[in-house]
């Protein structure tokens, strides 16, 4: 046993009641225990960190699942809203188309009534015009007959006078020979 206040072989303050070998063995044992405790602490820390990471991973998975569920719900809500909007739009378009068809049918009925009214007026006017035209045609035919008769009488007069009259070769005026020889002198141009 060492009785010094400083152990030279161990180079530490005095270790009372133990020999250097016992002290070294106890120190080694304490160091090993300390190392074991540190190793256990390190393992516990690793396990705690792993457990914490696993909890965080599980929490992240749970959050991701909740976010995915929320996204799916949002998609479903949006799809339902779009479907509702599409149905409303379809109903609106159908109602508008029906209203437009009713308006078109009403317009067709009004147009048909207006067409029938105008057709009746046109028929009445056509009948009146036809009567006026027949009267005008009859008058035109009578006038044509009168003109034809006048032309016939004039032609007959011309034929009758052509036997007695001739055309002056110089001035082209009709001349009438009253008698005598064939020698004549034009009184307008003194042509022979």
Calculate mean pLDDT across residues 178-185: 70
Burial 120-145 (b: 16+ CB within 10 A, else e): eeeeeeeeeeeeeeeeeeeeeeeeee
Q: Is the pLDDT of residue 165 over 90?
A: no
Query: How many angstroms separate the most distant Cα atoms in the chain?
Result: 210
The domain spans of the chain are 7-150
Q: What are phi and psi of 156, to 5 degrees?
A: -60, -40
**Residue pLDDT, tens place only, 4-45:** 476 777 677 766 677 777 878 888 888 888 888 888 888 888
pTM of the entire predicted model: 0.35
Burial 27-59 (b: 16+ CB within 10 A, else e): beeeeeeeeeeeeeeeeeeeeeeeeeeeeeeee
**Residue pLDDT, tens place only, 38-80:** 888 888 888 888 888 999 999 999 999 999 999 999 999 999 9
């Amino acid at each position: 046993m060492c009785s010094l206040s400083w152990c030279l072989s161990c180079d530490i303050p005095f270790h009372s009641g133990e020999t250097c070998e016992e002290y070294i063995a106890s120190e080694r044992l304490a160091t090993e225990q300390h190392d074991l405790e540190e190793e256990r602490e390190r393992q516990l820390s690793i396990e705690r960190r792993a457990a914490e990471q696993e909890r965080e991973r599980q929490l992240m998975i749970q959050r991701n699942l909740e976010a995915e569920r929320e996204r799916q719900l949002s998609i479903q809500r949006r799809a339902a809203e779009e479907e509702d909007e599409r149905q409303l739009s379809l109903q609106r378009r159908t109602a508008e188309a029906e209203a437009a068809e009713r308006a078109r049918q009403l317009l067709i009925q009004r147009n048909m009534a207006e067409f029938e009214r105008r057709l009746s007026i046109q028929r009445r006017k056509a009948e009146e015009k036809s009567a006026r035209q027949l009267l005008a045609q009859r008058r035109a035919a009578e006038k044509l007959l009168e003109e034809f008769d006048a032309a016939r009488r004039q032609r007959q007069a011309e034929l009758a006078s052509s036997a007695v009259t001739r055309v002056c070769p110089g001035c082209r005026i009709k001349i009438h020979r009253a008698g005598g020889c064939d020698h004549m002198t034009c009184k307008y141009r003194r042509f022979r």
